[in-house]
Structure 1
Amino acid sequence: MSGGGETTVLWRPAGPRELDLIRESGWRRWPPISLDRLYFFPILSEDFAIGGARDWNSSGPGVRYVTRFRVETGFLRRYSTRVFGGSAAPMLWVPTKDMDEFNAHIVGLIEVVHEIR
């Protein structure tokens, strides 16, 4: 894991199962993404991540979480930033094949900053 330099704060909604896997990593890594999903989408807006946890992941009752984490800014420059659908919130499009390298550039811990029931 890398440590110095400028970082970018990112957010991402997570469900209980995904959060368990993050916890098992010592709060340092995102779990592998299914290869049928081409991209991992960290979000550049906390408000949009909260809305995503509330709306997108509403596959039934239960708890969802919003996480915050930091990644080396220089590393993130390789990924395009796009908006998803009609939203105005930018997200990074990280190919799932890059997840091991992406995780290696997380600085500090992945934190739960909101719990939505």
Structure 2
Amino acid sequence: MTGLRPTTTLWRPTGPEELRLVEELDWRAWPPRLPEQPIFYPVLNEDYAIRIARDWNVKHSGVGFVTRFEVETEFLSRYPVQQAGGQTILELWVPADELDLFNAHIVGKIEVVREFR
């Protein structure tokens, strides 16, 4: 939790192209989705983000990053938690056309917390 508004910590496994776009947005927002990406999915735990960054992003891009960021908790209640696999495989599914609204509720900056090569 940061500041006066209760926040929830989220993670996002990220490849180098998406991370470059986040940097261009001053580490405060996620870039628009590509046409073949109907949802933006941050994950609810660091371990799951690590597995994706290490096992998928590295294989496909040569490098994978785990990012961490805070979002207003009350706002997140509009997105039910999705169990995408086992008990700890938890995501939020944000429709691509709501990403600007989602970004407006990020508190602070998006930070890189892990890197895999």
- When normalised by structure 2's length, the TM-score is 0.90
Q: Does 1:23 align with 2:33?
A: no
CA contact (8 A) 1:35 1:96 kept: no
Q: Deviations over 1:61-85 (max 9, x none)?
A: 6211000000000000000101113
The residue that corresponds to 1:101 in the other structure is 101
The residue that corresponds to 1:40 in the other structure is 40
Structure 2 counterpart SS, 1:57: helix
How many residues are paired up? 115
CA contact (8 A) 1:67 1:114 kept: yes
Taking a change above 3 Å as real, the CA distance of residues 38 and 61 of structure 1, as seen in their structure-2 partners, is closer
The residue that corresponds to 2:70 in the other structure is 70
CA contact (8 A) 1:75 1:105 kept: yes
In the alignment, structure 2 segments of 5+ residues that lack a partner are none
- When normalised by structure 1's length, the TM-score is 0.90
- Between 31-40 and 9-18, the greater mean CA deviation after superposition: 31-40
Give 1:54 shift: 1.2
In the alignment, structure 1 segments of 5+ residues that lack a partner are none
What is the distance in 2 between the residues matched to 1:61 and 1:9? 26
The residue that corresponds to 2:83 in the other structure is 83
Q: RCO (CA 8 Å, sep 6+): is it higher in 1 or 2?
A: 1
Structure 1 counterpart SS, 2:11: strand
